[in-house]
Structure 1
């Protein structure tokens, strides 16, 4: 596996750029040397791609799950606000835009409140604030994946598929226009669940059901409304996905009809 050393002079900020809880960068630059090992899950997720990776931490290669988030807004709108925007446009304009968007750039509002990346960062940020990271599989921080590392990922996809993808395939992978090709992709570094514990696809087992319910109640008390608790969002009885979660304060929580 080849790696590319990425450096930056920027000091990354915690994200998203909206009021409320945030997730900090995984490294001091939000960049890292990464080896892409294998894709996790069924590869059919419309808003993200998750890979088993090794990340160089102080010259030690450590294993993680890396969730890289696609970019199109159409795939990023969380369900309640999607309904609000398209079926109650007057309410959206009067109750949401008027109250929030005049104080935030439109791109920050959308990414912070409506995108899977923003939803996950806010939920994990709230868990960190309250010392309750035990309620889900842990997220360590976010990374930016520059274009040259995206090409490394493409080579890993090509090796797995047995034929070579053209660089333009990245645009399809992330759902982005060609003009955005050189922009970095945002990713969240999560703990890697051991294969023997990764009972993905069957949800919490009977012995884990009560604890899973108690965890949901605890999340609600923290102001995190998960919304998407389908079985594939659990590994070993714990949530692994907050991409549809609403974390207070959130426009949906006081604006949905």
Structure 2
């Protein structure tokens, strides 16, 4: 495996250019039951236009405090600035989170469609659009409840090679079966603001956004300050969205804990940020256990670890 280029090296290679294309016969993704996201569209965007990557904003890291779950670049498309996120998924690492009996209940398509961070974000943003549409039907405009996503796009292997030549050997976390497949990316609104500032977006509104998502079957889990910009959540790579094959195979009390984990993490985040407020997401003693540290639910000789940030094999799984 080639060594990963350093953040500094990638940042110094400014204005790298490749020619992207929206996937042929592009449709809504993922191709499983539930919310979906469509391809990136822009009135001034031509598939043969230049794609300028200007800066590496984030890269994968084994520590949540050091980096994110994918490569995020500041990019300029047709004169507009976006954040473009690349990520692959290893299904074997996903399977490792579950016991044998649980794995038997989940097909490969369902697992990838739910737990692949790219697909998890497509489902989450599709759900967000459904939420906004539901409120508009009632004549209510709730405004953004997350940092907007403008859709997905793909880069062909030939264009990816050109990209790597300019930026260095970036490790996109492909597993062997994904070699040669197109690089997928989500195109999001770019924001340079990294810190939570209650003067720009009150904590009350941030919590309202999270509660609206929960009320509509979208459960963000990876809640911490690094995943917010302008008081809006930007990362849904670990989110669970109904209908969820994950929530369907675990015991009811575990599913309930997973649904509520983000709310407990929200309280922790606000406290850690030193923001003084009486606003709390916690609604009872059970919420205090729903933190970003993760929960391991054990049932006899089986367990499931849903919130291992990197899908790494940090614990030995017992098998029946």
Does TM, normalized by the shorter one, top 0.5?
yes
Distance 1:120 1:9 in 2: 18
Given the alignment, which residue of 212, 224, 237 partners 1:243? 237
User: 2:76 aligns to what?
Assistant: 54
Contact 1:136 1:240 in 2 (8 A): yes
Distance 2:23 2:207 in 1: 44
* Structure with the largest fraction of helix: 1
Superposition pairs of residues 37-116 of structure 1, within 5 angstroms: 37-41=54-58, 44=61, 45=67, 47-56=69-78, 61-73=79-91, 77=94, 83=97, 85=98, 88-93=99-104, 96-97=105-106, 101=107, 106=108, 108-116=109-117
User: TM-score, normalised to structure 1's length?
Assistant: 0.74
Contact 1:71 1:176 in 2 (8 A): yes
The two structures, once aligned, show a CA RMSD in angstroms of: 2.9
User: 1:21 aligns to what?
Assistant: 35
User: 1:210 aligns to what?
Assistant: 204
User: 1:161 aligns to what?
Assistant: none
Distance 2:149 2:30 in 1: 15
Q: Which runs of 5+ in 2 are unaligned?
A: 1-14, 62-66, 133-141, 252-320
Distance 2:32 2:46 in 1: 19
Given the alignment, which residue of 6, 12, 23 partners 2:26? 12
Q: Which runs of 5+ in 1 are unaligned?
A: 158-164
Runs of 4+ in structure 1 displaced over 6 angstroms? none
Cα shift at 1:7: 5.6
Give the total of aligned pairs.
Answer: 219
**Taking structure 1 as reference, are residues 19 and 179 closer, same or farther at Cα in structure 2, changes over 3 Å only?**
closer
Larger radius of gyration: 2
User: TM-score, normalised to structure 2's length?
Assistant: 0.60
Distance 1:220 1:187 in 2: 26
